[in-house]
Structure 1
């Protein structure tokens, strides 16, 4: 399979800058559904030849699910070979004619290029919907993707957010990065804009980013919170809580957040009527379980609900659920 992708790269890579088709409009299908697959923590390493075989399994997942959008939620490329690694994603998504977008993780900060430079590069790639520096907030992968309905109006929103890398306050505060106050203001501004355009009613929305919010830990430890899936390792969230979750609760549009970062967690937990969810780490691992996979989400036009499940690279389907229907008990948390 690796040789097939190398052949695709030879065909696609030389001209992909000139043939970029990254301004497609996302729309609900005639049946009223819109399907998203989330790949996360791919950690592609060209020099060491690590995780190059993931693309065969990605292609199998795409062929099984026939999604409308792929979201790659951070830690995409290991080390500094980002210019050599992204063409593998281009070859996959352009071959499948599948729109895609990337939000950055903590490992997407490179010595060879700034996050801003990589964000500008992504804007040029075929079928990639990234918008660099949208709105001037801190971070390089903050943008909103509206999903349009039959009326040609936005019927749902996908917030793509840069959860940043490491603490900017060392040595006083160590650990992983957190959402800057400017990003919370950016989210509030966009949420209010789309709510006003929808006659004052918040649009159903999802948010995709890399590092879990502190509320992931609070929610899992709340015994009254309904959950599906497993916690297999500590939740590695930032030490500082700047209030992004509180903003989402107050604005009332976000139904679920989808992260990566922790490679062995794959749960969904209902916390104050927001689904706090992990994807399934999309890299090759020595352990048999959990296997490489993708989280699938299906939005429903005109409804504040979604279906979700894990699709493993083997084709196996796990953890089917509907939000909020599968979490009807203890819905206050």
Structure 2
């Protein structure tokens, strides 16, 4: 267990994996290829933190989905790099619940990053922050919000960030900013994109916008998280997973909306598989897509 995450030098490097989609054991060739490529990346790529933004596994129709999660953990456990996980819509479709995932995460993964301000809403969707320090001072806060799976109301839609989670973000960010008003380059991670990714897709500065049905797969209900982000004025970029044929970075109202790059082979999509690197400093952030060699 890590007590504190600190900058090793002038910058802090994050690797974002997403949509790995490990399926039924014994694993098929696509899953074995995913394991191989993730392991090769971790062996060759320096990182200060790994973020996985959902859909680590398939659970629908899978007899023992926890075996896929355990196999994935066995790979990450070979590398003593702090790890942060938020879940996607495919992680708990059938036999696993959000509570199960949270318990298995603690059991299976050995190098979890220290969480602060942990909160679960009434449907057990977890929110937390990870604090990054530079020269003994808080430099950046990373916010993680579990965006859920399918709509919890009788609406054909993916789930949305709940009002409880929006309130958690509002109160938590206000606490940080009261004590550290110089925070300007914080990041937010979730799986299902916010509806505002649609507007950001009209102003792409990098990557591809190829998903067609539907284009960003956002929830139909907008619960207003971005409006609070806009007024708090400290979140520099919002990172999501979820769409296998989107990996674009777009801008909306001077905020960066960024898809991760699909990391697993056991799912649809024509984008080359890979991951996203994020190079962070107290007052700057750069990000780049890397495809597996």
Q: What TM-score results when the alignment is normalised by the length of structure 2?
A: 0.89
Structure 1 unaligned regions, length at least 5: 1-20, 315-333
Change beyond 3 A, Cα 1:280–1:190: same
Change beyond 3 A, Cα 1:83–1:287: closer
Structure 1 position 66 matched with structure 2 position 46: yes
Structure 1 position 207 matched with structure 2 position 188: yes
Equivalence map 1:36-47=2 (5 Å):
36-47=14-25
Change beyond 3 A, Cα 1:285–1:94: closer
Counterpart in 2 of 1:84? 67
Residue 246 of structure 1, aligned match among 220, 227, 230 = 227
> What is the CA deviation profile of residues 204-245 of structure 1, one whole-angstrom value per residue up to 9, with x for unaligned ones?
211111001110112213xxx352111011111000001111
Matched residue pairs, number? Answer: 283
- Distance (Å, rounded) in 1 between the aligned partners of 2:115 and 2:148: 16
Equivalence map 1:5-154=2 (5 Å):
21=1, 23-30=2-9, 32-47=10-25, 49-50=27-28, 51-79=31-59, 80=62, 81-124=64-107, 125-129=109-113, 134-138=118-122, 139-150=124-135, 152-154=136-138
Change beyond 3 A, Cα 1:176–1:41: same
Residue 307 of structure 1, aligned match among 277, 286, 292 = 286
> What is the CA deviation profile of residues 30-65 of structure 1, one whole-angstrom value per residue up to 9, with x for unaligned ones?
2x1111111111110133624132122112222333
- Distance (Å, rounded) in 1 between the aligned partners of 2:280 and 2:190: 18
Counterpart in 2 of 1:4? none
Structure 1 position 155 matched with structure 2 position 133: no
Change beyond 3 A, Cα 1:54–1:226: closer
Residue 177 of structure 2, aligned match among 159, 171, 195 = 195
Q: Secondary structure at the match of 2:287?
A: strand
Structure 2 unaligned regions, length at least 5: none
Task: Please report how far the alpha carbon of residue 259 of structure 1 lies from its aligned counterpart in structure 2 after TM superposition.
Answer: 0.9
Residue 179 of structure 1, aligned match among 151, 161, 176 = 161
**Structure with greater helix share of residues:** 1
Change beyond 3 A, Cα 1:134–1:286: closer
**Structure with greater strand share of residues:** 2
Task: Please report how far the alpha carbon of residue 87 of structure 1 lies from its aligned counterpart in structure 2 after TM superposition.
Answer: 2.4
Q: Is the 8 A contact 2:147 2:161 kept in 1?
A: yes
Answer with 210-219 or 278-287: which moved more. 278-287
Change beyond 3 A, Cα 1:156–1:131: closer
Equivalence map 1:221-232=2 (5 Å):
221=202, 225-232=203-210
Task: Please report how far the alpha carbon of residue 307 of structure 1 lies from its aligned counterpart in structure 2 after TM superposition.
Answer: 1.2
